[in-house]
Chains A and B, each alone.
Chain A
């Protein structure tokens, strides 16, 4: 991404690379991801399973502790470098400045303590407040998050709450110390569709009520379109495309993004009998092809794609794609359908 980012960036990630050891060599699961997140912005991180979304988020928090993992590059949060920061110092940022919401609220709470106890614990880990003060704040937070009867809910155990309530409690816990950055890792995947919409609405409102910047990880393009200011599409651990959500949806510049968008059923016009799909499967990180990782599945692939990594090309204001096509002057048609995506195979 470019150098002309505004100085107000809250989070600036440069060339982040996370490699896991496997059979004697290091496999980069996240391979050179760069992006910036401004104050009170919502950035969507999209990609399919295994594209490195969650690993990116965990790396930002310094939460990857598998033996032998290498994290390189730079994560600059409020002018502090997080990569290589000692755990002891990082701990004071975690939960206080950077908070995280996890995918499955069923398993994300410790089963043997009440919800309120667990939120109190986070508050008291970072601030010198009495038990009563912490509990008062917990109850207020739960109320703010739309939990009915927060005082009683605080005294209930995780298994006694529904998934939606638990996710609200999770968000309340994440916000308990007023973090400036909230990382939400697929916060709605495990929930019912109606509850999903409520939780997304809640997350959207946090920017105004709590002045938080949000990094929203999801595989759901619909969620991104509704929620995010900017969108970053990951493919096989690399950034495929980054741009303002509206521009990215209106005119995708990377064939992969275009394919993802084409797989959403259109709301108006004739419906296709069968939803288009991108043929093939993403490469395993250990045998990514040379050049563009998407090239084996890309109908536009040619020699330039298979020899060298594609450069980031600006295709609009703040809009970039890792693809040679715009540079070569073959822009993708908007909302391409038939030439790129083939029919999904008969099951």
Chain B
């Protein structure tokens, strides 16, 4: 078990190296484009160009350039954005990350709890109108675009009905750090959480129901019934527990890509200064160092989260433990 975990960790380090090299190559070793001009921004003076070339070592071989870039990203952390008047990129991301993590974790709690409840209930009542209604709701959730739902939520809670008793508690758009006021943090985030969770509730509850229904035809469920267990115990201890293996691998991927900046639309709609919005700004300003940094950040996060999921996998599925 420990060996398996260590081996997984080794793989993670290797994959991270591969990704960093690839990202570096895409941005700085593309033939026919001078990275100096792109970092220095539009209409940069020759002096700035010269300074940038010096700083990043663009007149030296590629491996040296890669090493300088990694040093600037991870060790000295002084990668600066020229498009944004020398703003340091790494601290910017470090400031944005807690916002994104707060948003995604809250939403994840909501979508996991609600989708497990919905999926299990629908599977237990398979074929009844409750099952059909829940799955229809799930489908609606999947089909609603998150930016539209966010705008509608804003329209209702910030504008139209803000002065009614129902929504007068909703704060203005933006983020309140948890350390500053936990209650304010919660109030600022609860609507974005729900909006972000809706899509995933739809997907996960439908996947879980389908999984549970498929499992109900398995031999081991028949054994469990022959043992004289109650239907709820069979569904939860045998069916749901086994279905969790699929559920967790799905969750790992979605969670990682959201924390890595995939919640961009939600962050933009609700004015949350997270990593997604940072990426969005970097893209609109063509701010190359910032884009490079956010892509690296997101890649690192996806890989780390996948490693974490694999660890959970080891706990969840005994077959995986021995298979490696």
A94 within 8 Å of B (CB atoms): yes
A84, chain B: closest CB distance, angstroms: 18
- What residues on A are CB-neighbors of B241 within 8 Å? 110, 112-113
Which chain A residues lie closer than 8 Å to B228 at the CB level?
Answer: 91-96, 122, 125-126
Given A102-B219, A111-B242, answer yes or no on A173-B318 (Cβ-Cβ < 8 Å): no
Chain B residues within an 8 Å CB radius of A30: none
In the complex, A225 Cα to B292 Cα: how many Å?
76
Q: Give the shortest distance, in Å, between B233 (CB) and chain A (any CB).
A: 8
What residues of B have a CB within 8 angstroms of the CB of A113 in the complex?
241
Write out, one digit per residue, whether chain B residues 234-250 have a CB within 8 A of any chain A CB (1) or not (0): 00011001100100000
- Evaluate whether A159 and B318 lie within 8 angstroms (CB atoms) in the complex, with A104-B219, A107-B219, A110-B220 already known: yes
The answer to whether the Cβ of B191 comes within 8 Å of any Cβ in the partner chain is no
Contact A99 B242 (CB under 8 A): no
A10 close to B (CB within 8 Å): no
With a CB–CB cut-off of 8 A, which chain A residues contact B229?
91, 95, 121-122, 125
**A-chain residues with CB within 8 Å of residue B71 when the two chains form the complex:** none
How many chain B residues touch A (Cβ–Cβ < 8 Å)?
25
Residues in B with CB closer than 8 Å to A111 are 220, 242, 317-319
What's the least CB distance linking B230 to chain A, in Å? 7
Beta-carbon contact of B224 and A110 below 8 Å: yes
Give chain A residues whose Cβ lies under 8 Å from the Cβ of B230: 91, 125
Contact B322 A159 (CB under 8 A): yes
Are A95 and B242 within 8 A (Cβ)?
no
> Looking at the complex, which one of B219, B227, B317, B322 makes contact with A173 (CB distance below 8 Å)?
B227
* Chain B contacts for A126, CB-based, 8 A: 228
A109 to B127, CA, bound (A): 27
Interchain nearest-CB distance for B221 vs A (Å): 8
Check if B317 sits within 8 Å of A95, measured CB to CB: no
Query: Are A99 and B226 neighbours in the complex by a CB distance under 8 Å?
Result: yes
Q: Would B225 and A63 count as touching, CB distance under 8 A?
A: yes
A94 to B230, CA, bound (A): 11
* B209-267 at interface with A (beta carbon < 8 Å): 218-220, 222-231, 233, 237-238, 241-242, 245
> In chain A, residues 11-36, which have Cβ atoms closer than 8 Å to a Cβ of chain B?
none
Q: A95 near B319 (CB under 8 angstroms)?
A: no
The proximity string for A residues 102-118 relative to B, scoring 1 for CB distances below 8 Å and 0 otherwise, is: 10100111111100000
Question: Taking each of B127, B222, B237, which has the highest tally of chain A beta carbons within 10 Å of its own beta carbon?
Answer: B222
The reply to whether A94 and B225 contact each other, CB–CB distance below 8 Å, is yes
A160 close to B (CB within 8 Å): yes
Distance in Å: Cβ of B129 to nearest Cβ of chain A = 16
For the complex, is B142 an interface residue (Cβ under 8 Å from A)?
Answer: no
Interface size class of A (residues with CB under 8 A): 20 to 34
Query: B residues within 8 A CB of A95?
Result: 226-229
Expressed in whole angstroms, the minimum distance between the Cβ of A69 and any Cβ of chain B is 14
In the complex the two chains form, is A112's CB within 8 Å of B242's CB?
A: yes
Give residues of chain A (92-147) contacting chain B, Cβ–Cβ below 8 Å: 92-96, 99-100, 102, 104, 107-113, 121-122, 125-126
Is B316 close to A, CB under 8 A? yes
> Is the pair B242, A102 in contact by a Cβ cutoff of 8 Å?
no
Interface membership of A1, Cβ < 8 A? no
Q: Does A157 contact B (CB under 8 A)?
A: yes
Cα–Cα distance between A160 and B317 once the two chains are bound (Å): 13
Query: Which chain B residue lies CB-closest to A126?
Result: B228
Which among B127, B227, B230, B319 has the greatest number of chain A C-beta atoms within 10 A? B227
Which residues on the B side are within 8 Å of A110 (C-beta)? 220, 223-224, 238, 241-242
When distances are taken between beta carbons in the complex, the residues of chain B under 8 Å from A160 are 318, 322
Which residue from B222, B227, B245 sits with its C-beta under 8 Å from A125? B227
In the complex, what distance in Å separates the CA atom of A93 from the CA atom of B317?
Answer: 32
A102 close to B227 (CB less than 8 A): no
Q: How many Å lie between the Cα of A95 and that of B233 in the bound state?
A: 15
Q: Within the complex, what minimum Cβ distance (angstroms) separates A85 from chain B? A: 13
A61 at the interface (CB under 8 A from B): yes
Which residue of chain A lies nearest to B233 when distances are taken between CB atoms in the complex?
Answer: A125
**Smallest Cβ-Cβ distance to A160: which chain B residue:** B322
Bound Cα distance A94, B219 (Å): 16
- Tell me if A109 and B220 are in contact (CB < 8 A): yes
Whole-angstrom CA separation of A166 from B2 in the bound complex: 27
A91–B234 alpha-carbon span in the complex (Å): 12
Partner of A108, one of B223, B231, B316: B223
Q: List B contacts of A93 (CB < 8 A).
A: 228
> A157 to chain B: which residues have CB within 8 Å?
318-319
Interface string of A212-224 (1 = CB under 8 A from B): 0000000000000
Beyond A108-B222, A108-B223, A173-B227: 20 further Cβ-contacts under 8 Å?
A91-B228, A93-B228, A94-B227, A99-B226, A102-B219, A107-B220, A109-B223, A110-B220, A110-B224, A110-B238, A110-B242, A111-B242, A111-B318, A112-B245, A112-B317, A125-B230, A125-B233, A159-B318, A159-B322, A160-B322
Those 4 A-B pairs whose CB atoms lie nearest each other, nearest first: A95-B228, A94-B228, A107-B219, A157-B318
Give B residues with C-beta under 8 Å from A: 127, 218-220, 222-231, 233, 237-238, 241-242, 245, 316-319, 322
> Which A positions have Cβ atoms within 8 angstroms of B?
61, 63, 67, 87, 91-96, 99-100, 102, 104, 107-113, 121-122, 125-126, 157, 159-160, 170, 173
Chosen A-B contacts, 13 in total, with CB atoms closer than 8 Å, are A94-B227, A100-B226, A102-B222, A107-B218, A109-B220, A110-B224, A111-B317, A112-B245, A112-B318, A113-B241, A121-B229, A122-B228, A157-B318
